Amino acid sequence: MSSSLADALCNRTSIQELSLMEKTIFSNAWFSEENERKIDSKIEKVCIHGFHLNENDPTASRDLVRFLCLLPCLTDLMIKGSRSDSHYNRLFLLDDFYHELARQASSSKIEKVCIHGCHLNKNVPTASRDLARFLCLLPCLTELMIKGSDDQYINLLFLRDDFYHELARQAPSSKIEKVCIHDCDLNKNDPTASRDLARFLFFLPCLTDLTIKGSDDQFNHIFLHDDFYHELARQASSSKIEKVCIHGFHLNNNDPTASRDLARFLCLLPCLTDLTIKHYADKLFHRDDFYLELARQASSSKVIGKVF
């Protein structure tokens, strides 16, 4: 992407959606101070999909973030990895990208973010931490999806333990109302990452809508450690969640206590009124402990919406 194209995007276009794909090429000085001063774009939605800046100067990554955060109409952002030819993940953004995201977050009007199949194992741990800080410091963010892979053979999502720890630490400052955890596999993370993910959900002061979802095919990539479900049950009474959807995943790789803790979580939520437990083909599997605990705790639940 040249400085002249950047100028066109910033000032002389009425387009509302922009996708930066794998073959997008950035010059190192593509976003000038002049562009920054007179930015007047109508872009509302941006997808950064499977491209890498590892051959660019770090300023290119920083400038990409400045461009995103200064777009006056941008409300919807997706950062997405992809499988391409012999490469399982073509997305690579320098550590500077994530650091600048966190630094610029407060100036953004972004309302919706999807982190889809991003693999940060080649970045330093601070990159994962900065990504989490960005999400929690966005002043207008109300909807967040953390999604694994669309690929049936491999899970492209990998965020270091620092990401989940920082999410939990920064959650009280967030305005997020809706979270979807979709096909996330934390098997390569420490169990504390799963626990921190659960803590993040409960420390969000505005969260009312939660979806935990498996894949939409016969493959199951979602895996959250037993610590996730234990922490869900432990923190349930402090939550303001009103709506939960448990969609098409199984806990047959977890200890039976995980199924029991998931049921306790659902029944102990003080504000829950709408519960959906949905299967995909034969993908939904909860151990007997789940249904026994649901029956045992049912009298304490306020669910009045749809169930099953």
Higher pLDDT, residue 272 or 4 = 272
Residue 169 and residue 32 share a domain: yes
Query: Rounded to whole angstroms, how far apart are CA atoms 170 and 220?
Result: 30
Residue 149 and residue 14 share a domain: yes
At which of 173, 197, 222 does a domain end?
173
Please tell me the pTM assigned to this model: 0.88
Higher pLDDT, residue 3 or 193 = 193
Residue 128 and residue 10 share a domain: yes
The pLDDT of residue 280 is 63
Residue 127 and residue 200 share a domain: no
Residue 135 and residue 185 share a domain: no
Give the CB-side neighbour count of residue 95, counting CA atoms within 13 A: 8
| Range of the structural domain that residue 245 is part of | 177-308
Residue 144 and residue 18 share a domain: yes
Residue 123 and residue 224 share a domain: no
Pairing state of beta strands 45-49 and 76-80? parallel
Residue 263 and residue 153 share a domain: no
Phi and psi of 198, rounded to 5°? -65, -40
Residue 191 and residue 168 share a domain: no
Alpha helix (H) ranges present in 48-108?
58-70, 95-104
Pick the range with the lowest mean pLDDT from 40-44, 95-99, 132-136: 40-44
| Domain tally, the chain | 2
- Whether the CB-CB separation of 231 and 192 falls below 8 Å is answered with no
Q: What is the CATH number of the domain that holds 38?
A: 3.80.10.10
In which band, very low, low, confident or very high, does the pLDDT at 307 lie, cut at 50, 70 and 90? low
Per residue in 287-299, pLDDT tens? 788 889 888 988 8
Residue among 83, 243, 249 nearest 179 (CA): 243
Residue 189 and residue 147 share a domain: no
At which of 173, 192, 225 does a domain end?
173
Residue 193 and residue 264 share a domain: yes
Give the three-class secondary structure for 39: coil
Residue 70 and residue 127 share a domain: yes
Per residue in 64-91, pLDDT tens? 888 888 888 999 999 987 655 444 445 6
Angle, helices 288-297/256-268, rounded to nearest 10 degrees:
30
Pick the range with the lowest mean pLDDT from 9-18, 63-72, 83-92, 147-156: 83-92
Pick the range with the lowest mean pLDDT from 65-74, 132-141, 146-155: 146-155
At which of 140, 173, 206 does a domain end?
173
